[in-house]
Amino acid sequence: MSTPRPQLVVMKFGGTSVEDAAAIRRTAEIVRGRRARGLRAIVVVSAMARVTDTLLAAAAAAGVGDKHGALALSARLRSRHLDTARDLVHGIELSTLLGTVQHEFDALDDLLRGISAVGELTPRTTDLVLSFGERLSSVVVAAAFALAGLEGAHLDARDCIITDNSYGKAVPQEALIEQALLKHALPLVERDLTPVMGGFIGSNEAGITTTLGRGGSDFSAALVGGALHAGAIEIWTDVNGIMTTDPRICPDALRVKTVSFEEAAELAYFGAKVLHPATILPAVQKNIPVFVLNSRNAANEGTRITAVAPPCRSPFKCIAVKKRLTIVDIVASRMLMSHGYLKAVFDVFDRHRVAIDMVSTSEVSISVTVDTSEHLPLIAEDLKRIADVKYESGKALVCLVGEDIRGHAGISGKVFTAIEHINVRMISQGASEINMSFMIEEDDAAEAIRSLHRRFFSDPDGEIFDLDARANTAGAPPVHMPAVAVQ
Ligand code: ADP
Ligand code: ASP
Ligand code: MG
């Protein structure tokens, strides 16, 4: 196990924190602040805002043979990156940077042409296309940092984040990552440089590019922090920290000052986009505090995620919502829930690599929720021997999280009274006892969240919640009602 490095901070900047030259300058100032305190930073950046979505669209267009569509999307990204580079860097460094950016885009265009010619997009090629987002942002940010006196040094994440051979959501190999970081990243830190690497991307042992799944840059930062036993991991984003709920849905959301690892993990798993669900684990293993901070409002103290959360007067800390879910009703046809029946059902989902979020059973039926409807016709086909299967999409899972649920008798009554005007489909109180979740129609989600928020956060505990700072922070875009669709 590597030795603790309390002076080392891993700073991850999300897409909005590197979306243009102004954002990258703010990011540089934040890193400068850490260095001024005598800390050493490793910086992990996402692709510039919306770039991964555009790359995905370009890959999809190429996959159906639409070469011109794919190249047009790539051309737009090329000018955006070149413009940002020109705004941030000058002199000889600018020519080098422009050369690198052009070279990367030439490689991307070749790849898109190849995909269009074949007319087939594999998971492996999708990962390669998506990797350009973080490859490019990290090159631009490193060059900007070098010029801003931060001794920025670009580090190719694919040399460090070693994964298994799966694509789309590759599994990191922690021992290999530690070795690679000790070899490639630590010497830079020891020379007082600031390594800048892309999040989200990695490579397998054969050197083939992989990705960690959407939102995976948080996970990359936690892997780096965990492997090098950093003093802290900072996740810089566009809101003041972990809020009581998504501020885009509920503008009254409050910043939560402290949450436990367990609460944060639960919250992320159940849909709070602010943190990737896998982020917490590497930090838990070494008890490294994680902070969620706002790059547009760096003075705000954000949210601290620690091993133990202080006690809270209210039962809940946060409300998460996960949309685009499907409920699958499985009605036993022959085996009538006999011994081994549940296993047979779950094995089918497992074979199709579809994860189940929630389960409820009755005498003859099982209902489960899944976050994809893509494989359901095949799953239904496989289950036909032992069950009748019906599925309905357009559902949302609402999850209330808090370690103090345990101590509050009659809490479910209060929850369901607050949303009595909404039709609830499935209910579960997790075994962990720190979440309560239920399924509703997607269209009811925003209303349910606001009602629950009014009910449980109108008299918040000042020790845990920031009563002054609301979601609308300086520089953040105004929040409009009604809520926009949030993923
Ligand atoms: P980044 O690009 O920095 O990774 P994300 O868009 O992935 O940022 O995550 C930040 C967004 O997560 C916020 O803008 C907010 O709309 C959303 N969000 C959802 N739930 C929460 C929550 N409980 N607290 C804070 N933000 C949340
Ligand atoms: N750029 C990737 C995404 O948009 C990873 C990330 O931003 O965390 O999903
Ligand atoms: Mg994110």
For residues 444 and 485, the model is more confident at 444
Q: Whose CA is nearest to atom 10 of ligand 1?
A: 274
For residues 178 and 309, the model is more confident at 178
State the ligand closest to the CA atom of 214: 2
pLDDT winner (highest mean) among 159-163, 325-329, 331-335:
159-163
State the DSSP code for 49. Answer: T
The verdict on the CB of residue 277 being under 6 Å from ligand 2 is no
Give percent of the chain above pLDDT 70.
94
Report, as an integer, the average pLDDT of 344-354. 90
Report, as an integer, the average pLDDT of 195-223. 97
What band does 470 get if pLDDT is binned at 50, 70 and 90?
low
What band does 334 get if pLDDT is binned at 50, 70 and 90?
low
435-441 vs 365-370, strand pairing mode: unpaired
The verdict on the CB of residue 245 being under 6 Å from ligand 1 is yes
Helix (H) or strand (E) holding 367, with range, is: strand 365-370
- Which of 18, 53, 127, 200 maximizes ligand 2 atoms within 8 Å of its Cβ, making it the mutation to test the pocket? 200
For domain 5-237, give the fold.
Answer: Carbamate kinase (3.40.1160)
Q: What is the pLDDT of residue 426?
A: 86
Mean of pLDDT over the chain: 91
> Does position 267 have pLDDT exceeding 80, yes or no?
yes
State the ligand closest to the CA atom of 302: 1
Q: What is the pLDDT of residue 6?
A: 94
Quote the CA–CA distance of 427 and 398 in Å, as a whole number.
10
Q: What is the pLDDT of residue 432?
A: 63
Using CA atoms, how far residue 303 sits from 244, 282, 293, 320, 460, in Å, is 11, 18, 7, 16, 16
Which atom of ligand 2 is the closest one to the Cα of 276?
8
- What number of helices (H) and strands (E) belong to the chain? 14, 19
Q: What is the pLDDT of residue 336?
A: 60
For residues 368 and 364, the model is more confident at 368
Which atom of ligand 1 is the closest one to the Cα of 13?
3
Q: What is the pLDDT of residue 102?
A: 98
Quote the CA–CA distance of 182 and 456 in Å, as a whole number.
47
- Which of 273, 297, 300 maximizes ligand 1 atoms within 8 Å of its Cβ, making it the mutation to test the pocket? 273
- Collapse the DSSP code of 218 into the 3-class scheme (helix H, G, I; strand E, B; otherwise coil) and give the result: helix
For domain 318-472, give the fold.
Answer: VC0802-like (3.30.2130)
Which atom of ligand 1 is the closest one to the Cα of 49?
2
Q: Encode 379-392 in three state secondary structure.
A: HHHHHCCCEEEEEE
How many C-beta neighbours within 10 Å does residue 346 have? 14
> Does position 486 have pLDDT exceeding 50, yes or no?
no
Residue 16 CA to ligand 3 center (angstroms) comes to 9
State the ligand closest to the CA atom of 221: 2
Residue 199 CA to ligand 2 center (angstroms) comes to 8
What band does 474 get if pLDDT is binned at 50, 70 and 90?
very low
> Does position 471 have pLDDT exceeding 50, yes or no?
no
Quote the CA–CA distance of 478 and 151 in Å, as a whole number.
35
For residues 334 and 383, the model is more confident at 383
Quote the CA–CA distance of 410 and 221 in Å, as a whole number.
40
> Does position 43 have pLDDT exceeding 50, yes or no?
yes
Report, as an integer, the average pLDDT of 342-370. 87
Structure tokens at 6: 């309390």
State the ligand closest to the CA atom of 18: 1
What band does 475 get if pLDDT is binned at 50, 70 and 90?
very low
> Residue 299 burial by CB count (10 A; 0-12/13-18/19+): exposed, middle or buried?
exposed
Q: What angle do CA 221, 350, 367 make, to 5 degrees?
A: 105
Q: Whose CA is nearest to atom 6 of ligand 2?
A: 215
For residues 334 and 15, the model is more confident at 15
Q: CB neighbours of 410 closer than 8 A, spacing ≥ 6?
A: none
Report, as an integer, the average pLDDT of 226-251. 97
Quote the CA–CA distance of 389 and 333 in Å, as a whole number.
10
> Does position 429 have pLDDT exceeding 50, yes or no?
yes
Report, as an integer, the average pLDDT of 276-281. 91
Structure tokens at 434: 């720190």
The verdict on the CB of residue 47 being under 6 Å from ligand 2 is yes
Domain residues of the chain, as ranges? 5-237, 318-472
Segment 125-172, tens digit of pLDDT = 999 999 999 999 999 999 999 999 999 999 999 999 999 999 999 999
Report, as an integer, the average pLDDT of 360-378. 85
Q: What is the pLDDT of residue 469?
A: 60
